[in-house]
Chains A and B, each alone.
Chain A
């Protein structure tokens, strides 16, 4: 192990221990480590943005003496200046123009993207399970495929109903027929099943990270014995 590798290893172990001190109720070392993370991450992010976005996309075109490239670069330059003005109290209102530009463009992308990339394929996939070639094998009905298709359709409708139900219950307590309450409960069961899987997934990822951190500390200690 080279000296630089050893130093980075020691730094890593020290920082890991500082984070784990949170378990014992410590806030100082935990705070130092998290603020160090924020500081280094912010510095690194600023560097990457300057060198990989601002310089090649904004500054370089401005160095062109003539041509459309130069004039086109004036638009983001103006929007950027308005944004920078946000740092000063008097410029807060000017900053809303570039933010509105971002919001509008991203909203338009979302309309096309969500429609073509999520809503249409997901709805078609749910309906596509009822295609005759999926449900029949020669002349025999495939009961497992039929049940699966029905279950998925019912589940998706019930989950969407929960969304609707939530919006309504926010507006005020509305008494619903038993039938609708039943659909809502089915939707909640499917949402619960998904959240259960997500919960285990998050715990699993966190557990892998915890085992990796502990393994490094144990490996480091065993280095000296």
Chain B
């Protein structure tokens, strides 16, 4: 059973935003106010999520759970960043340089690691998924785009070949458009369900 208050708040906030967007420009100032609240509440939700994460790891440390050393690394790095940032200010170039010095190489290396994992996945994908219209077209498309990515064909500079390449490069657009429309319709249905109080938007 859904509780009435969150349901009413969800439906009301949605209807106010819808009304403000329909009655333009009069609804503009109401929309500005509500969206400001959205930004604030989303920001606070993010802070709550961060606090929850840190508290969970503090509990791991207190209980001496397996892997608590990693939790210690997380909590210490969190506190060090927070204190350093509070002392220097979030726009301080030295602070930003140090934060970047940690985040940038780790994130880049993690994305690099994805390339290594994809290599072994490529070897296994057909063995594990079998042949079907989807997997065959996926494989053929991947092979063609890898060949195009090498750039040798484009550098040959044959006008007829270039036309074929342009045609082939345009093919994923068709599937992408179908997917976008399909996802858009799904999103629309979901949004209407939220607005009509049929779907939980925090009310369950």
Contacts and interface: CB of A to CB of B under 8 A. Distances in A.
B78 A15 contact: no
A146 interface: no
B10 A191 contact: no
B45 A8 contact: no
Contacts of A13: 105
Interface string B183-204: 0111110111011000011111
The secondary structure that dominates the A interface is: helix
Contacts, number: 397
A94 B176 CA distance: 41
Contact of B149 (A158, A163, A200, A212): A200
Interface in A199-218: 199-207, 209-214, 216
Contact of B137 (A115, A193, A205): A193
Contact of A107 (B48, B136, B194): B194
Q: Which of A103, A110, A119 has the most CB of B within 10 A?
A: A103
Contacts of A214: 112
A31 B47 contact: no
B116 A23 contact: yes
B62 to A, nearest CB: 16
Contacts of B51: 87
Interface of B: 3, 5-7, 9-18, 21, 33-48, 50-55, 67, 70-71, 73-82, 85-86, 89-90, 97-99, 101-116, 118, 132-146, 149, 171-182, 184-188, 190-192, 194-195, 200-204
Interface of A: 4, 8, 11-13, 15-16, 19-20, 22-23, 31-54, 57-58, 72, 75-76, 79-80, 83-84, 86-87, 93, 95-112, 114-115, 118-119, 122-123, 125-126, 151-152, 155-160, 162-163, 185, 187-207, 209-214, 216
Closest 5 CB pairs of A and B: A103-B201, A196-B141, A159-B178, A99-B202, A43-B81
